[in-house]
Amino acid sequence: MNNFVNELQTREFIYQSTNLVDLKKSIESNKIKAYVGFDCTAKSLHVGNLIQIMMLRWLQKFGHQPIILLGGGTTKIGDPSGKDEARKVLGFSDIEENKNSIKKVFAKFLNFNSENKAIVLDNDEWLKDINYIDFLRDFGKYFSINRMINFESVKLRLDREQSLSFLEFNYMLLQAFDFYHLYNKEQCVLQMGGSDQWGNIVNGVELIRKKLGKEVYGLTSPLLTTSSGAKMGKTASGAVWLNEELLSPYEYWQFWRNTEDADVIKFLKLFTELPLKYIDELSKLSGKEINDAKIILADEATKLCHGIEAANSAKSTSKQTFEANNIDNNLPKYEVSSIEIKNGMALFKLLISCNLAASNSAARKLIQGNGVRINNNVVNDINYIIKIKDFNNSNLKLSVGKKKHMLIKLTT
């Protein structure tokens, strides 16, 4: 009988688990609640968080209830897991603003109106009122320092002789307490997260077992890197955000379209809901045909995050840009004032300003190498000055290579 865990296994979501056999048996006859925690360190989650969101989506599709735990409390401390150094401590107002912003993305992936509707909770609700002396007395004895310093996330920091503050060390205890609280109040029996969260998850599982004598479960997903070794969700221009205010649907679609050949099938399994039999057929594509699979990946991933209309628009924009060489108004935009252009703006400076080049030398190298186009025409003069005549109806299309395009808009 197929179930939630089997689906995750087949699609290669699962990296580690505490007791997979018993979890499978438990969910065959019971509807469960499971949670993933998301700290509020930015105004949007990014593609690196998407694998956990998809796990919650599959959980709900199989009839179980997902809990989204926002780390309004734990963000005040900072999670050391997978980090080389202490995370910047944010102000409370920044955390609140981030929290409200990232809530919006979950409505795209999860159902908040069904019988097993998704629940959003904030651990600040119970962590802010903890009495430290009472907490140490009631829970401190269940945590072994010897065991905690041997978890990979802590061990890496210590082995590199990098500072690990007592503030950060407390994060493990608080995340374990979150699981304990959710078990008591919500009957939540499963925590999921990335593999960097393994130590935190195990602490929660063991706390509930030791203090309450109850069995709960933990699952982690692999921390994804692309075939070239790059961290999933990171590009040269920054994070691939899920909120469209920070990254347009076109740029999101383009990110997936530019997937490396070796990653396409893996990403189709993880980030779309296409049937595995169909994905297996796509895996047989080779050569230039693999681009068809990349377009399917971009379409399906963008539909989930931004809706079918945005996906279709992004695909149309891409086709116009790459095949018809037209200027499409859905391209990423950068505004320059008519006064700046009237006085003349160096092309290499504009490339840097709109993040198509990282430095003066990089911009000049791109220009000299015939890698820069204005309105589809190659410009290889490193001293080229952009003027009003380069604009068509206040628009100029600036391109770097075959895949990076920016619509430069003239403002008064």
Residue 122 lies in a domain: yes
Which residue among 265, 298, 329 closes a domain?
329
Say whether both 201 and 292 belong to one domain: no
Residue 367 lies in a domain: yes
Say whether both 67 and 210 belong to one domain: yes
Pairing mode of beta strands 65-71, 33-39: parallel
Helices (H), 62-144: 92-109, 124-127, 132-139
Say whether both 293 and 339 belong to one domain: no
Spatial separation of the C-alpha atoms in residues 258 and 248, rounded to whole Å: 15
User: Mean pLDDT lowest for which of 37-51, 148-162, 205-219, 238-252?
Assistant: 148-162
pTM reported for the whole predicted model: 0.79
Residue 42 lies in a domain: yes
Assign residue 69 the CATH number of its domain.
Answer: 3.40.50.620
Which span out of 32-36, 83-87, 198-202 was modeled with the highest average pLDDT? 32-36
Q: Which residues belong to the annotated binding site for L-tyrosine?
A: 35, 171, 175
Which residue among 309, 329, 349 closes a domain?
329
- Residue 409, pLDDT score: 86
CB atoms within 10 A of CB 360: 14
Residue 352 lies in a domain: yes
- Residue 182, pLDDT score: 98
Assign residue 274 the CATH number of its domain.
Answer: 1.10.240.10
Say whether both 289 and 198 belong to one domain: no
**Burial class, 123, CB count within 10 angstroms (exposed 0-12 / middle 13-18 / buried 19+):** buried
Say whether both 321 and 345 belong to one domain: no
Q: What percent of the chain has pLDDT over 70?
A: 90
Q: Which residues belong to the annotated binding site for ATP?
A: 234
- Residue 143, pLDDT score: 85
User: Mean pLDDT lowest for which of 31-35, 37-41, 80-84, 380-384?
Assistant: 80-84
**Burial class, 382, CB count within 10 angstroms (exposed 0-12 / middle 13-18 / buried 19+):** middle
Say whether both 79 and 207 belong to one domain: yes
Say whether both 60 and 201 belong to one domain: yes
Say whether both 376 and 311 belong to one domain: no
Say whether both 252 and 190 belong to one domain: no
Residue 232 lies in a domain: no
Which residue among 329, 360, 389 closes a domain?
329
User: Mean pLDDT lowest for which of 24-33, 119-128, 225-234?
Assistant: 225-234
- Residue 81, pLDDT score: 52
Q: Map tokens 């809706």 to a residue.
A: 307
User: Mean pLDDT lowest for which of 17-26, 111-120, 376-385, 400-409?
Assistant: 400-409
Assign residue 381 the CATH number of its domain.
Answer: 3.10.290.10
Spatial separation of the C-alpha atoms in residues 232 and 314, rounded to whole Å: 21
Say whether both 108 and 181 belong to one domain: yes
**What does the mean pLDDT of the chain come to?**
87
Which residue segment(s) compose the domain that 351 sits in?
333-410
Say whether both 361 and 315 belong to one domain: no
Say whether both 263 and 389 belong to one domain: no
* DSSP E strand boundaries for 102-240: 119-122, 188-194, 217-221, 234-235, 238-239
Q: What is the mean pLDDT of residues 159-172?
A: 72
Q: Which residues belong to the annotated binding site?
A: 35, 171, 175, 234
Residue 360 lies in a domain: yes
Quick one: CA dihedral 26, 27, 33, 37, positive or negative? positive
Residue 229 lies in a domain: no
CA distances from 48 to 23, 169, 257, 258 (A): 26, 24, 17, 16
Q: Which helix (H) or strand (E) holds 405?
A: strand 404-411
Residue 191 lies in a domain: yes
Written as one string, the DSSP assignment of 370-385 is T-EEETTEE---TT-E
Count the domains in the chain: 3
CB atoms within 10 A of CB 363: 24
